[in-house]
Amino acid sequence: MVDITHKITTLREATAIAVVRTSSEETIKAIRENKVPKGNVFEMAKAAGLLGVKKTPELLPDCHPLPIEYTGIEYEINGLEIQISVRVKTIYKTGVEVEAMHGASIVALTMYDMLKPIDKNVEIGCIRLQNKKGGKSSFKVNSEGLNAKIVVCSDTISKGQGEDKAGKAIASKLREQGIESEISIIPDEAEEIRSALKNAKTNMVIFTGGTGVGPRDVTPETIEPLLDLKLKGVEEQMRNYGQQRMPYAMLSRSVAGIMDGKVVLALPGSTKGAAECMDAIFPHVLHVFKVIEGKRHD
């Protein structure tokens, strides 16, 4: 299965439809009047559809098992056709469109099985995804024109005694969003940190390093007094995301805020920690630029 451990959890929804075509008004009448020999078609098919949604990953090898938190099945009769609508919801890292389509197909097949004794010409029509939301396509963010300065805070690396990996990891994550960046390396000195922030001419300034609890970790307390406001939700998201993957993340003092219209972030100095913070908040944090400009939320 595809690795989704880096994804964030969001509300996901999908609706799929299927069509069952009967060949006579007598069949439709039997369904309406609950006179089909095998039982109540709508209720039996609904029960089967619920099972179909839940068992999707058991039958489709690449599907991830996920918590199904809502399934709604509705019917609409149009002439000799029955339109089936299956809506599925979850709060998870991946979507539920396959679950919705599988549920719709099982509902349709159950109807076919129940109706074939009284109608030899029943057909299953198109089964398709009607709509979905909750993934990347629902939270599009425009990164056009944005750039960033990455500041690596490290005594060791600034002395040439180590290699910068965290800064490069951040730059790689930014390129995935279409954002160009430049990297500078400074020691863990408050004055150098302040200078790097005040002199930055980019839309974003991302620090990496100095967010722990060591004696030389001074990045947060240096940056925070310079911020016009803090983005506490962004900070919470980074720590929560990290804590789900590494228990030591609770010791991180990552910072997020805005100064002079610039987004300012202070991420851990470890390569993995920095990369995970980027995964936790990008691209969604870029929505802040739209808000800064005074535009309405979608």
pLDDT at 139 over 80: no
C-alpha–C-alpha distance, residues 97 and 126, integer Å? 15
What is the model's pLDDT at position 293?
Answer: 76
Q: Which two tokens stand for residue 6?
A: 């880096």
- Strand runs labelled E in 79-158: 81-92, 123-133, 147-153
What are the sequence ranges of the domains in the chain? 10-134, 147-293
Which residue's entry shows tokens 């929804």? 13
Percentage above 70 pLDDT, the chain: 98
- For residue range 85-100, what is the model confidence (pLDDT) as tens digits? 999 999 999 999 999 9
3.30.1360.200, 3.40.50.300, 3.40.980.10, 3.40.50.720: which CATH number matches 147-293? 3.40.980.10
CA distance 139 to 197: 29
Quote the CA–CA distance of 234 and 281 in Å, as a whole number: 7
Nearest residue to 53 (alpha-carbon basis) of 7, 13, 14, 102? 102
pTM: 0.80
Residue 298: what pLDDT?
53
Catalytic residues: 113
Task: Specify whether domain 10-134 bears CATH 3.30.70.640.
Answer: yes
Whether the per-residue pLDDT at 290 is higher than 90: the answer is no
Tokens of 133: 């939301």
Is the per-residue pLDDT at 297 higher than 60? no
The count of other CB atoms within 10 Å of the CB of residue 119 is 21
Q: Is the dihedral of CA 31, 35, 38, 39 positive or negative?
A: positive
pLDDT, tens digit (0-9, with 9 covering 90-100), for 188-197: 999 999 999 9
